[in-house]
Copies of this chain bind each other. A is one copy, B any other.
Amino acid sequence: MDYQRILNDIYQEVSPVIGEGKVANYIPKLAGVPAIQFGMAVHTLGGNIYTIGDARKLFSIQSISKIFTLTLALKMVGEDALLERVGREPSGNPFNSLVQLEYENGIPRNPFINAGALVVADILLSNCNNTKAVILDFVRERSDNMDITIDPEVALSEKANGFRNAALANFLKSFNNLFNPVEEVLETYFFQCALRMNCVDLVKSCLFLANHGLSPWSGKQVLTKSQAKRINSLLLTCGTYDAVGDFAYRVGLPGKSGVGGGIIALIPGKLSVSVWSPGLNSNGNSHAGTLALELFTTKTGMSIF
């Protein structure tokens, strides 16, 4: 399949809507990102990489980082221990809702809502020293890119404005579902959200999820086949906030979005594909990005359904 031509065509078709939507504005640094940017990358299992537009421009990956910390936590404690502290059901509610947490006694519905990601961060803190370094090393290794780092200004801003996340963390703590100090958990979470990566980094680092847990270009078995399958099912049912159904309906791929405008998606057995454009739709997912992925599945005829 001529992926490059498909990317070219998609770029042309989404051009009119690039810049539409609303750039995340709860942090000054994010609010200042120009909306008219668009990048996309594809990485086949065979090893080819295709890119278009701003595919090598860095952006704040935000919630996409939850894939990396979940992967680490799964490796550290395994499925069963994880499932005792965080569920695997879609939330059916806005992504930072406290309501659900209250009705379910402090067990977050899944690892991709903020509460769930805080519990995952807590698991990392309990299972390694210097958690931030562990996360950073893992992301660098998975991306084969030692230059990846965080934006310290974003991390600081998240902290200064993170009252809802602080509420969530304290709430989890009140249910005894955080074992480390609230401040450390939040610090870790804000760190991972502030990671800066580009579209190429994303397709490289997540390719193992499209290949039964084995990263083809590095030969490293990151997760077992079963674990990789389970993360994909979580991505499909819980990966895109309150728009899981909409995303599955239109794109039909397991994927994860971030408020920085990035999205990574996977076609198991074939490839990983990422897109970035900062303007968000009403669900908090990249507007042009979602459209581009929808076009990608249409044009390639690839879908898991």
Contact = CB atoms under 8 A, between A and B. Distances in A.
Of the four ranges (under 10, 10 to 19, 20 to 34, 35 or more), the interface on chain A belongs to 35 or more
A164 interface: yes
A90 B90 contact: yes
A166 interface: yes
B305 A245 contact: no
- Name the residue in A91, A168, A245 with the highest tally of chain B Cβ atoms < 10 Å from its Cβ: A245
A303 B304 CA distance: 9
B164 A174 contact: yes
Given A89-B92, A232-B305, A171 B182 contact: no
Interface in A219-256: 228-230, 232-234, 236-238, 242-246, 248-249, 252, 254
Interface string A85-111: 001111111000111101100000110
Contact of A249 (B99, B233, B249): B233
Nearest to A79: B249
A173 interface: yes
Nearest to A174: B163
Contacts of A170: 163-164, 166-167, 170
A88 B164 contact: no
- Copy number of this protein in the oligomer? 4
A250 B92 CA distance: 20
A268 interface: yes
Contacts of A182: 163, 166
Contacts of A171: 98, 163-164, 167
Contacts of A248: 233-234, 236-237
Contact of A244 (B90, B98, B252): B90
B163 A173 contact: yes
B233 A268 contact: no
10 contacts: A88-B246, A92-B109, A163-B173, A164-B171, A166-B170, A232-B252, A234-B245, A236-B248, A237-B245, A268-B304
The 10 closest A-B pairs by CB, nearest first: A92-B92, A163-B174, A232-B305, A89-B245, A167-B170, A90-B90, A167-B171, A166-B170, A304-B304, A88-B245
Interface of A: 87-93, 97-100, 102-103, 109-110, 163-164, 166-171, 173-174, 182, 228-230, 232-234, 236-238, 242-246, 248-249, 252, 254, 268, 303-305
